[in-house]
Amino acid sequence: MSEKQASGLSDQRWMIALTASIFFLGVGVRLYGVGDIAVWSDEAFSLILSSNSPSRIIFHTTQDVHPPLYYLILHYWMNMFGNGLFATRALSVLTGSVSVLLGMWLLLLISTRRAAVLGGVLLALLPIAVRYSQEVRMYALLGLLMLGATIALVYWLKRPRSNRALAVYVLLAAAGLYTHYFAAVSLLSHWVYLLVLMYRKDVPHKYLTAKSWWLANLAIALAFVPWIPNLLHQLAFSGFYWIKQPDIHTVVSTMWMFVGYTDGLAFPSWIFYSLPCLLFICALVVVMHDSSRHKYSSMIVLYVWFPLFFIIVVSFVRPLFVVRYFMFAALGLPIVLALALNLYWQRHKLCCQMFLVVIVCVESVGIYNVARVGHVVYKEVNSIDVMSEYLNKQANVDDAVLVTHGFLYFPFVYYNTSGITPKFYAPPNADGTLSRPDGTLIWTLVQDNAEQIFMGDLDSLQSRSGRIWLLGEYKGGTQVAAFPRAWRLMNTFIVGDTQLQLFETEDRLSPDSASLP
């Protein structure tokens, strides 16, 4: 073996060792505390839905706002590993960790080994990626599929006469569309990139007009056609009422969520706006200094920024801007930053190292925020696991359980081992109309038993034991409703902003029932 070959082999082994180390770093931060945080409503929906048969999963998904692929994968995953919280979140940990490797693979294709290592470290520690690699939802899977599709696109750009890469692209793109509809925005960024290449004189092959490209996208469309009637059905009943109209603060806060898992609103204005400006400047720098023929930096920059701006425009008609929906785009940020650092590493090594340290510090604080805040989405203090454990120990099967807050119902169903079927309190509106859910969105799972589940007034609630548990939000002693005179409050258990109350009805009271056992 020559000295040059030996050196090359040594470098290759060193790169493999670095890649493995970065991968396990990503796995480690994603596994830390992954089973400690209680499920929230969307996760509980995923868990309960995926416990159904594949046909029932598809049916219930048509009543929701997302496509079914993730739930089907989770169904088979649960069949193998069980429905425990650690086991089910491990699916997202796996897909999120593999995304780190895909990011490094992409950088190796379009840049250098140094860039791949830098990007791998930043991807492994990216707070938004860590957060949604710990949740029983589809966002980590979507990121994996879209990065994979981008890699397949690069391979096709390098060898446009080979259809193998396009075949992989078709499979990953179709899977992405069946995972989350925002995959379409990611794929649209690829079209915009090819449009940019179309007008470059130094790129002789016109990829955008290539027959193979159009056939590939026709195959993607045909693969998705069977689901389109269900998509139209979903659009008909979902008003996306929970999504607010985005403004400049929303977009800036999104950048902070990506790299620091905070909305940044507590910072002074100059700090608040400096982060997105810095990220955007890095994007411009890598585009302007990209000497590659295919301008791969433009592709990555579009992958990050195009979905954000596109959805902002769409949101003027129908608000769709939800930070977690852009997790796939956030995965491109470390890649852009790695490209920027790699550009100046040789000439300004010390400055680049300092900049890298700053980014890693911001991301580390973000990971701390992920662990500190937990799975808080709507500012709730999620203590449903503690409440459920308490109720499971104290309740008997003849008691009644009434949940008074929508975010708590399905999480309690997931943790409930008491043998009691919980009911949900849905009192009439002020005008007398029914307020109970209409059987769409997450409530599709209980629609078959709606008459038994939904309670419009407290007086009609009874139990064989004469004991009634109320589980709801704690508002400093404020009651959700006036309790019937026949009810006597026996005990109250409060954790965070969640409250569990035990009542006994008047006709079942006894002298020795003044406290819980």
Question: Can you state the angle between helices 139-158 and 183-198, rounded to 10 degrees?
Answer: 20
- 143-196 pLDDT, tens per residue? 999 999 999 999 999 999 889 999 999 999 999 999 999 999 999 999 999 999
d(CA 23, CA 17): 10
- For position 378, what pLDDT does the model report? 54
Mean of the pLDDT values across residues 98-104?
Answer: 98
Mean of the pLDDT values across residues 328-355?
Answer: 95
Range with the largest mean pLDDT of 137-151, 231-245, 268-282, 340-354: 137-151
d(CA 394, CA 470): 13
- For position 479, what pLDDT does the model report? 63
Mean of the pLDDT values across residues 209-226?
Answer: 96
Most distant CA pair in the chain, distance: 94
Does residue 272 carry a pLDDT above 90?
Answer: yes
Cβ atoms within 10 Å of 357's Cβ, excluding its own: 10
- For position 478, what pLDDT does the model report? 61
Does residue 374 carry a pLDDT above 80?
Answer: no
Does residue 427 carry a pLDDT above 50?
Answer: yes
Report yes or no: 238 and 254 within 8 Å, Cβ to Cβ.
no
Rounded to two decimals, the pTM is 0.93
Measured in Å, how far apart are the chain's first and last C-alpha atoms?
78
Which residue in this structure is represented by tokens 């920027």?
340
Please tell me whether residue 67 adopts helix, strand or coil conformation: coil
- For position 415, what pLDDT does the model report? 96
The beta-strand segments (E) located in 374-479 are 400-403, 423-425, 454-455, 467-473
Q: What is the DSSP string of 236-283?
A: HH---TTPPPP-HHHHHHHHHHHHHSS--TTS-HHHHHHHHHHHHHHH
Higher pLDDT, 169 or 380: 169
- For position 369, what pLDDT does the model report? 93
Q: What is the DSSP string of 152-169?
A: HHHHHHH-TT-SHHHHHH
Does residue 243 carry a pLDDT above 90?
Answer: no
Report yes or no: 413 and 48 within 8 Å, Cβ to Cβ.
yes
Mean of the pLDDT values across residues 116-120?
Answer: 97
Q: Where are the alpha helices (DSSP H) in 69-210?
A: 69-81, 85-110, 113-124, 127-132, 139-158, 164-177, 183-198
Radius of gyration of the chain (CA): 26
- 6-29 pLDDT, tens per residue? 555 577 888 999 999 999 999 999
- 385-395 pLDDT, tens per residue? 999 999 999 99
Look at the chain and count its residues.
517
Mean of the pLDDT values across residues 500-506?
Answer: 89
Express as a percent the part of the chain with pLDDT over 70: 93
Please tell me whether residue 500 adopts helix, strand or coil conformation: strand
Q: Which residues contact 414 (CB under 8 A, 6 or more apart)?
A: 39, 44, 47, 48
- For position 509, what pLDDT does the model report? 44
d(CA 310, CA 329): 12
Mean of the pLDDT values across residues 435-455?
Answer: 89
pLDDT band at 516 (very low <50, low <70, confident <90, very high): very low
Does residue 80 carry a pLDDT above 70?
Answer: yes
Q: For the chain, what is the mean pLDDT?
A: 91
- For position 511, what pLDDT does the model report? 45
